[in-house]
Structure 1
């Protein structure tokens, strides 16, 4: 012990004289070596972690993840899917919901050529979930069906209204949301008109499932009241509160041994149960699609539930490295699965559905992602589907413009559903 102590003191004095540098592990390294040159080099790509970014990326993201199907050691697609799916669910803390909810039908009516069913159901926790089911009138037999997954959009006051409608008269703030992200289209309605049963439900923490202010301590409410939501300024105040509250929700779920993706997946699977069990639905022709937060949910549901025959993620595809280095600052807490980047890159969650029909629609000027990493994600997915012998089942396209799911993109998505579900 004495010798080691003397050596440490000697090396420390040399370091003080500029003869040694100290690496990230506290080890003395002689000046002039490549290691010290790298340590002292300040020329690095700027990123949101500063000098810590390259170090964090080098730990696991500069190499192929351990469970990637792109690795030579994986050749059996089915065996890989079983192993990787189990690992994703373990990492996210997936529990599922065994108790099937009772459905309450509130209203059935005709609107714009569609039969509209407004329903709700009670999960084992939280407020009742509101949902809308749309299908063409005067159509018989079992139809293909799609679970429409609404977006995040920084608006937790709204849920299903973001992508569907059951009357011509919409509140102005709903019309504005649909115009901004969907070119004024309630795309769930438009898809239903093409011969589908489409179900849209409020996701966890949105719409009917949002956190009510009356249920949190008064000091956390900022003076906002649930019954004041009739005015736009109060809705905006709630959405601002909910945005700031999101990190509390995520950290609290982590503290419970859960994650936001686990809750999303379980609740979306219950909605899929309801949709698949209908007499007018063919349970072998099920799809899902969504923009942004809905695209995230499409990745999780489409990747981890074999019942989804065709899945479309819009405006939500990149790599873990992109989130680490560039974009986590403008993303929701609803993405992250602890430790999973060591085993699968983000696109590879979606690739777990290979060889089933899979589409990714990107926006070239989408500020939520970097274009280079969106293209890398496409390359990963294409490579996996090719290795699975299913290249024709995967398509990725890049559209001009910012973060959105406009009518041209909707038309491409509807054609993809028609190709694989009809």
Structure 2
């Protein structure tokens, strides 16, 4: 038991004795008594759990996690990474889908200087996964490759269309999403033009992989019976339903002995298998990147799969403390790995890829995180890379504005890929 926890138990125990000796009615009605009993020897900071926040933080988050590389006893980076990856996979309920699925090529076309290949493949569960592979025309040999990980964006009807396109016939609905989060760009296309093979796939519960309302009992459909998704109002209704359904999916996955991050990782690794096995791809120069939910997937895939040579997480880096006290209400259920905060802070999952090149891009007015904890996460990652002797391979930048991956941020990301996996 840590000293902080011992002091907390001692303090609250004494407070409890004092409570018994006073008026129970006064305890319930006097805010000063309640606040004093929960302040735990430090000024009480309002948080989303109220008086329970400081107690929950004191359990495991006041000290360095058990497997933190910041601890003095960890000096061997490879041994630490092996232990950290093993523990993270154990906590998330790692799936590990074996074997590359059969790929169906639906269409090949040329658009805006790119060869566009639209494919699908069947995983052991759910509907077939749609994907698109983009590469420059008139290229020869093996190219560096990047797995583009699409965002959440409160839109599960869309998947890969959020960041990739194969023609100019983009719906207003898709264009609005790209305008909001990507300054009007399909960034996967922009990266491919620079000399990369870029693959984007629909992930679990998005796009072609979404939960179909027809497959759900009528009493769980929130009154939706029109499944014609050519109507924008039906798409909006589906997205509202899908948002409400997230807690059901997460709790059901926990009941199955797995977690949402485990499913994400498994599906992203299959996509990486497909990308790495292509004859036009140099499997020694693989990267991944994404905004928001794609940034979360980058943390998991980049941290836990050693094939990723270069990883860029955009708009998704903070600490478990931030999620505990301030921001879990702004987030999806797709983040959480039960019990892992005891062993690793959130940035340390991404740090499991050290000393490989790693970039984090943050927005200073991002309402999904507090700026203070984003900066603490940067300090954690920076310290680990420094200890690993790889300070030059980690960078974090802060941009003005809200949650986004705008063109200035895209340019920094592309230059980072150029530096580390295009030029070698």
Per the TM superposition, whether the score is higher than 0.5 is yes
Distance in 1 between residues matched to 2:108 and 2:200, nearest whole Å:
15
**SS across alignment from 2:78:** helix
Distance in 1 between residues matched to 2:365 and 2:353, nearest whole Å:
28
- Structure-1 residue corresponding to 2:421: 421
When residues 280 and 224 of structure 1 are mapped into structure 2, their CA distance, relative to the original with a 3 A threshold, is: same
Deviations 1:318-343 (A, max 9, x none): 00000000000010000000000000
- Structure-2 residue corresponding to 1:283: 283
Q: Kindly report which structure 2 residues correspond to 1:298-317, keeping only aligned pairs within 5 A, or say none.
A: 298-317=298-317
Distance in 2 between residues matched to 1:17 and 1:384, nearest whole Å:
50
Distance in 2 between residues matched to 1:231 and 1:87, nearest whole Å:
45
C-alpha contact (below 8 Å) 2:227/2:234 kept by paired residues: no
- Structure-2 residue corresponding to 1:31: none
Distance apart, 1:99 and its partner CA? 3.2
Aligned equivalent of 1:18, options 19, 22, 38:
22
Distance apart, 1:95 and its partner CA? 1.7
Distance apart, 1:225 and its partner CA? 4.1
Deviations 1:3-61 (A, max 9, x none): xxxxxxxxx998654399xxxxxxxxxxxxxxx87668895100000000000001111
Unaligned 5+ residue runs, structure 1? Answer: 1-11, 21-35
C-alpha contact (below 8 Å) 1:131/1:200 kept by paired residues: yes
1:71 has 2:71 as partner: yes
Unaligned 5+ residue runs, structure 2? Answer: 1-15, 25-35
Distance in 1 between residues matched to 2:340 and 2:18, nearest whole Å:
42
When residues 233 and 16 of structure 1 are mapped into structure 2, their CA distance, relative to the original with a 3 A threshold, is: same
**SS across alignment from 1:85:** helix
Distance in 2 between residues matched to 1:152 and 1:53, nearest whole Å:
28
Distance in 2 between residues matched to 1:342 and 1:379, nearest whole Å:
19
1:58 has 2:58 as partner: yes
C-alpha contact (below 8 Å) 2:317/2:347 kept by paired residues: yes
Deviations 1:118-177 (A, max 9, x none): 000000000000000000000010000000000000000000000011111111010000
1:294 has 2:294 as partner: yes
When residues 19 and 333 of structure 1 are mapped into structure 2, their CA distance, relative to the original with a 3 A threshold, is: closer
Runs of 4+ displaced beyond 2 Å: 12-20, 36-43, 222-227
Q: Kindly report which structure 2 residues correspond to 1:374-393, keeping only aligned pairs within 5 A, or say none.
A: 374-393=374-393
C-alpha contact (below 8 Å) 1:213/1:226 kept by paired residues: no
Q: Kindly report which structure 2 residues correspond to 1:104-119, keeping only aligned pairs within 5 A, or say none.
A: 104-119=104-119
**SS across alignment from 1:349:** helix
Distance in 2 between residues matched to 1:210 and 1:284, nearest whole Å:
32
Calculate the TM-score normalised by the size of structure 1. Answer: 0.91
